[in-house]
Amino acid sequence: MVDDFLQQVHTIVEPFLSDLGFAVEKVDSDVDEDGPKGSVVYYRGQDCKIQIYHSSREGEINAMIAPLDAPNEYGLYDRSGKWHYFNDFTEMPDLPLEELVRKLREERTNFDTTPKRLEWLKRERIARYFDSAHAAIIADGES
């Protein structure tokens, strides 16, 4: 599963990140999650970093962004406080619970397989929120 995840990240997400000026900095396929193993790919750009991770323990695939001085530390265990989810910098709509549940049910089909998750992550997290997350990371580094 780990090798499949890493290969799929390279195939699905990496070309998009490369177009944004990012290159692989480090790959860790042996993240200790107190039993299960997680994996992560770190990318380095001109002024920030991105990580794409898979937590076997949490059953989660996600992406985070950080300034260049952030340690290459697996997002779920980041002690530096420098890694952020892409949508951390965007005000989320105030929707009624019923609407949120409906949206989650509609999105569930995007999580059937790892490739579908990675396509969704690329489109609905990284591409959608990159500009606002990148601007916030850069502004935070300048203050």
| Segment among 14-18, 109-113, 138-142 with least mean pLDDT | 109-113
Distance from the Cα of residue 125 to its chain's centroid:
8
Q: What's the pLDDT score for residue 93?
A: 64
Residue 1 pLDDT exceeds 60 = no
Which residues have CB under 8 Å from 41's CB, separation 6+?
Answer: 6, 9, 10, 14, 24, 26, 27, 51, 52, 53
Residue 141 pLDDT exceeds 70 = no
Q: What's the pLDDT score for residue 63?
A: 97
pLDDT tens digits along 45-102: 999 999 999 998 888 899 999 999 999 998 878 889 999 999 988 776 676 777 767 7
Q: Where are the domains of the chain?
A: 2-142
Phi, psi of 6 (to 5 degrees): -60, -45
Element (H, E) at 102: helix 97-107
Q: What's the pLDDT score for residue 97?
A: 76
| pTM of the predicted structure, to 2 decimals | 0.87
Q: What's the pLDDT score for residue 110?
A: 59
pLDDT tens digits along 4-21: 999 999 999 999 999 999
Q: What's the pLDDT score for residue 111?
A: 72
DSSP 26-53: EEEEEEE-SSSEEEEEEEE-SSEEEEEE
